[in-house]
Amino acid sequence: MMSKHHPKSQKPSARVAPAKGRLGVLLPGMGAVTSTFIAGVELCKKRLGQPIGSLTQMQTIRLGKRYENRAPLIKAFVPLARLEDLVFGGWDLFPDSVYEAAVKCGVLAPDQFRPVSKELSAIRPMKAVFDPAYLRNLKPTHLKKYPNKWEAAQQVIADIAEFKRKNRVERLVMLWCGSTEILPKPSPVHATVKAFEGGLKADSPEITPSMVYAYAAISQGIPYANGAPNLSADFPAMVELSERTGSPIAGKDFKTGQTLMKTTIAPMLKARMLALRGWYSTNILGNRDGEVLDDPGSFKTKEISKTSVLDTILEPELYPALYGRYHHKVRIDYYPPRGDAKEGWDNIDIAGWLDMPMQIKINFLCRDSILAAPIVLDLVLFLDLAGRAGLRGIQEWLSFYFKSPQCRPDLKPENDIFIQHLKLKNTLRLLMGEEVIDHSGLDYYDPVRGTPKPVPSPRPAPMRSGKTRLAR
């Protein structure tokens, strides 16, 4: 039987269990991104805001041939949890409620989230797992006490069980929205589950707090994603654990401002075989994330995540003349007056026919957390879907949302936003037993079999002008 939560147009899939009951959303790190995300969802629930930027809420998906005119909303096509069924919880280094965090971060004006102030004030973070070796610029006040990292993980597992019981949630997902950690030294503790569990018990210095949260979630079969560039679940032990417990995992680092631009422009340059000679990117940012990134250790983690995208898109090994010697520089400067309203500048030096130089300039006045919040929502809903569809381990189809997509070690990550988008939608089609769309289209003009007959649309969607919309 179809879930009463979903519109009639949604076909039930044998491969995906229905989204029954409440979904617990656990967020280690309750700062700018988390508070903007939760405030937005609560406002949307009351029809006081629009979830702009969210594919799960606003995008349609084409099904079948263009003349079939089938393009339901994604949320009407795949069985996703409803916003009304989301319950939020999390951990932070500071005891501020989500309301207080939203006021302090200043992403939204307090007037905007006043209608949901009761809901936001009721969400208080649990005490955090912390290690000053991995985060130097913050002085936390809201911490757990534990003799070693194994006990820390057990406390997080107990928090999760208590949250589940108290809030009567059926399922859970966890998303790291905490600060960017300094990268740990590579160590044998990251190699296998056995070594990692031994490392937790031995309080290994190479295990970071975000790894402790990831372990707590994944060991319980809870889907886990990482919105920051630190490793967290991107190492062999955690991949092994996720495959064993059936937990879908994804990461790393939400693709929001400048990398969103980079992974959109670079595919165009490559598609048109225009050469790249240099790409200089600089940002000013004044929120707590900017403060953390002011530490060279945390910046290094971010820099790796931001710089690798161009090479994987442009493939200099295949096109040495076009992309073999470009200069790529990324800077982030902490500049408090701007708060969360980041400004990014890109200067792109390109070359065309006969190596004639040209330039592209981008000045993106974006709002970091406004771009990140819909990504958090989509990841929550898609990870929960993946769990119900029995998908386990790395979910590369969610690369669309990340600067530095986690993938199998023998594969190159896919950073081209258009390929990522196609991959995401085709995965949804496959999950629901629909045809994959490759946009090849020769069969529309097949002289032997003839062009397939158009099927009249059951309900042609009227355009604003009153004319019937043509098949795409």
Ligand X SMILES: NC(=O)c1ccc[n+]([C@@H]2O[C@H](COP(=O)([O-])OP(=O)(O)OC[C@H]3O[C@@H](n4cnc5c(N)ncnc54)[C@H](O)[C@@H]3O)[C@@H](O)[C@H]2O)c1
Q: Which residues here bind ligand X, judged by CB under 6 A? A: 28-34, 91-94, 105, 128-130, 135, 138, 177-180, 209, 227-228, 253-254, 256, 287-289, 292, 368-369, 371-372
Distance spanning both ends of the chain, measured CA to CA = 32
- Smallest distance from ligand X to CB 19, Å: 26
Query: Which CB, 138 or 274, lies closer to ligand X?
Result: 138
- Minimum CB separation of residue 411 from ligand X in Å reads 23
In the complex with ligand X, which residue's Cβ is closer, 9 or 141?
A: 141
For residue 364, the cross-strand partners are 344
For the bound state, the minimum distance from the C-beta of residue 176 to ligand X, rounded and expressed in Å, comes to 8
Between 23 and 32, CB nearer to ligand X: 32
Q: How far is the CB of 130 from ligand X (least distance, A)?
A: 5
Q: Which is nearer to ligand X, 227 or 387 (CB)?
A: 227
Neighbours of 214 (CB within 10 A): 31
At its nearest, how many Å lie between ligand X and the CB of residue 121? 17
Q: Tell me, what amino acid is at 227?
A: G
Token pair listed for 300? 């290094």
What is the crossing angle of helices 193-201 and 236-245, to 10°? 110
Instruction: Tell me how far, at minimum, the Cβ of 128 lies from ligand X, in Å.
Output: 3
Long-range interactions of 308-313: CB distance < 8 A, separation 24+? 308/404, 308/413, 308/415, 309/259, 309/262, 309/263, 309/266, 309/403, 309/404, 309/415, 310/262, 310/266, 310/276, 310/279, 312/412, 312/413, 312/414, 312/415, 313/263, 313/266, 313/267, 313/270, 313/415, 313/416
What is the dihedral angle through the alpha carbons of 348, 352, 356, 362, rounded to the nearest 10 degrees?
Answer: -20
Distance CA 416, CA 266 (A): 8
Q: Measured between alpha carbons, how far is 2 from 369 in angstroms, rounded to an integer?
A: 36
Position 225, amino acid:
A
Q: Which residue is nearest to ligand X (CB)?
A: 31
Residue with smaller CB distance to ligand X, 60 or 154: 154
Residue 123, token pair as written in the block: 């969400």
- CA-derived radius of gyration, the chain: 23
When the beta carbons of 221 and 374 are compared against ligand X, the nearer one is 374
User: Would you say 75 or 252 has its CB closer to ligand X?
Assistant: 252
Return the number of the residue (78 or 250) whose C-beta is nearest ligand X: 250
Q: How many CB atoms lie within 10 A of CB 377?
A: 24
Q: Give the nearer residue to ligand X in terms of CB position, either 79 or 339.
A: 339
In angstroms, give the least distance from the CB of 279 to ligand X: 19
Q: Choose between 22 and 288: whose C-beta lies nearer to ligand X.
A: 288
Provide the minimum distance between the beta carbon of 231 and ligand X in the complex, in angstroms, as a whole number: 12
Transcribe 281-319 into DSSP letters: EEEEE-SHHHHHHTSHHHHHHHHHHHHHHHHHHH-TTT-
CB-nearer residue toward ligand X: 93 or 377: 93
Report, in Å, the least distance between residue 208 CB and ligand X: 8
**DSSP letters spanning 2-40:** --TTS-TTPPP-TTS----S-EEEEEE--SHHHHHHHHH
Shortest Å distance, C-beta 310 to ligand X: 17
d(CA 222, CA 459): 40
* Closest approach of ligand X to the CB of residue 287, in Å: 5
